[in-house]
Structures are given as structure tokens and as C-alpha cells.
Amino acid sequence: MSEFIDDQNCFVCGKKNASGLQLEFSRDEASGQTEARVAFPVQFQGWRSTVHGGLLATVLDEAMIKAAAASGACVTAEITVKYRKPVMTGEPCRILSRTVGTRGRIVLSEARICDAAGQILAQATGKLFKV
């Protein structure tokens, strides 16, 4: 594959993916922070009423990519996820991300999923590779 093309079928943010989350990320140009809001549907649970951890990692990964978009197209080279508290299906959450630095073609980024009170439920750091 020589180039990456957004065909709007991304599981996290693609508008053409009827099975996906179709999240809309906004970017604050002053701070560089991105944000999306979601209440995860029950079909994305692991244990009853609890969002599957793999899905949380996927959303955190996408949020970091969105934050790094100002640097150009990136792919994830490395991600570390910390789960703080269970994320419950149907509960409103905010997904926040930002870049924290660059090293050549590597963009360092971080993301977090917070509940309505602002408590961090899951967070990630990542190294993204500019393509």
C-alpha cells in the first residue's frame, strides 16, 4: 500500500460505516486539543453494561491520530493504554486528545476518555509515525 485514503469507512469515525461509532472529532486550534463525545451502545460491551477494553483502546488510538492530523497523516507505531475505571454502556463520555511533541517523523500523542464529571476512565499515550 503506497498511500492512505480516507474512504469514510473507519470503524471509529467513518460516516459510511453503519456498524461503527461515527464519532465526530472537533479541534480547538488554539490548544491543539481534539474532542469527541459518545455514549457507547450496548453492542460494544464486554462484561454486562461495561464497554469492551479493546474498543476503548481503538477509540483512544483514533483520538491520538486525530490530534496528530495537524502534522499530516500518521499511523500508530506504539500505544500504551491504562484502564482506570470501567466505562459503562449508555453513559456519556468525552474523548480528549492532544500531541505532546515530535521527534523527526514520530509524533507523540496522548488521549483520555472521561465521564460526565471529568473523571479519567481510560487513557493512552502513543508514538505515531508520519506517512
Give 87-124 pLDDT, tens digit per residue: 999 999 999 999 999 999 999 999 999 999 999 999 99
Is residue 24 within 8 A of residue 95, CB to CB? The reply is no
Domain 26-130 has CATH 3.10.129.10: yes
Give 2-19 pLDDT, tens digit per residue: 678 889 989 899 999 999
Query: What per-residue string of b and e applies to 29-57 under the rule 16 or more CB within 10 Å gives b?
Result: eeeeebbbebebeeebbeeeeebbeebbb
Sequence ranges of the domains in the chain: 26-130
Q: Distance from CA of residue 40 to its chain's centroid?
A: 13
Cα-Cα end-to-end distance for the chain:
11
Q: Taking a C-beta distance cutoff of 8 angstroms, is the pair 58, 38 a contact?
A: no
The pair phi, psi for residue 71, each rounded to 5°, is -90, -5
